[in-house]
Structures are given as C-alpha cells and as structure tokens.
Amino acid sequence: MTKTKSYRNPRVAGALSGIALAAVAMTALTGAAPAPGDWAAPAPGDVEANVEAAGLEMLDSEKLTMHIHPHLTVYAGGRQVTVPADIGIDRSGKKPRFSPLHTHDTSGTVHVESARWQDFTLGQFFTEWGVSPTCRAEVDGAPVSGDPARIVFQDRQEITLRCR
C-alpha cells in the first residue's frame, strides 16, 4: 500500500491546496493549463531586457511630465485575457525600477509615465509583455486598419484587441 505524504504545517497544506485549486480553475476555464509564453503567463521575468528590446530605458522612479492612462482589453480565442500586473516594473532590487510603459495591476490600465512627451506604442508594450499576437484592433469602438502594434497611446483611450 502506498502512503501519501501529509503536511503537518497547516500553512504549507493551505498553500498547496490553493495552488491546486487555481490550476483546476484555470484548466476548467480555458480547457487547458497555460503554457509558458501563453497569454495567461505572468509578466516576463527579465523586465530590463524586454524594456530595452522595446527601445526604452528603466527609470529609478516614475516620471510624470507625460502622464496618461490608456486602457487595454484583450480577447484570445473569444475569451478575455488578463493583462498581467508589473509589466515594465522590475521589483528585483531594494527599490522598484520602472519603464515609461508599465502596469501596476491586472485592470488593463497601461501607465504611460515619462520625463518627456513622446509617442509610445502598443507594439512597445507587447515587447515588454513578451507577446507578439496577431489581432484585430478597435480604438474607442472604431476598427483600426493595419498593424495594431503601431497604435500610439493616448489618454483614456479604450483599445480592444481580438486575437487568435
């Protein structure tokens, strides 16, 4: 008879139960567990490399000369995708460092906070996120022709993406 390992520490048991429940819920909602690089993945681990690949630089603090907040809603395969928290934020040091494009939470709000006014694009944000989707886009309810990566962020803009 095989004996299963039990955890005497209620915290460990509770944490493992929570992880298992989250995995079951994700599988039930999506039909499969998320794969690495999939939309459901968290914000990328190498923030600084992704920010550099987007043509941006990390800042020691948020700069507010340019301070706008577009909102991004993403659907993949007909299901809404959660935009991860901490895209463009490196929390590995004593103090966080920020890209001019970042998220604080999973609301879909993109924080564009820069020391100077300039154009920032959805493509740069995708590079920071580590995704390269094929999508149709709408901005403020109007269809956008061409590559959605070229969309320039504006304040209070509602961007909806329908991706494969």
Q: Is 80 exceeded by the pLDDT of residue 71?
A: yes
Residue-level pLDDT at 52? 97
Residue-level pLDDT at 38? 58
- The alpha carbon torsion through 85, 129, 89, 151 (nearest 10 deg) reads -100
Higher-confidence residue of 15 and 144: namely 144
So what's the pLDDT on residue 50?
94
How far apart CA 78 and CA 107 sit, in angstroms, is 19
Read off the pLDDT band of 164 (50, 70, 90): confident
What is the structure's pLDDT at 15?
A: 41
Q: What percent of the chain has pLDDT over 90?
A: 68
Task: Please give the pLDDT value at position 21.
Answer: 38
Residue bearing the bigger pLDDT, 16 or 148: 148
Residue 83 has pLDDT above 50, yes or no: yes
For the chain, strand residue ranges (E) read 66-68, 71-76, 79-81, 89-90, 97-98, 101-102, 111-114, 135-139, 142-144, 158-163
Q: What pLDDT band is residue 42 in, cutting at 50, 70 and 90?
A: low
Tell me which amino acid residue 157 is: Q
Model confidence band, residue 39 (pLDDT cutoffs 50, 70, 90): low
Residues near 154 by beta carbon (within 8 Å), at least 6 away in sequence: 68, 70
Residue 75's pLDDT is 94
pLDDT at 28: 35
Read off the amino acid at residue 59: L
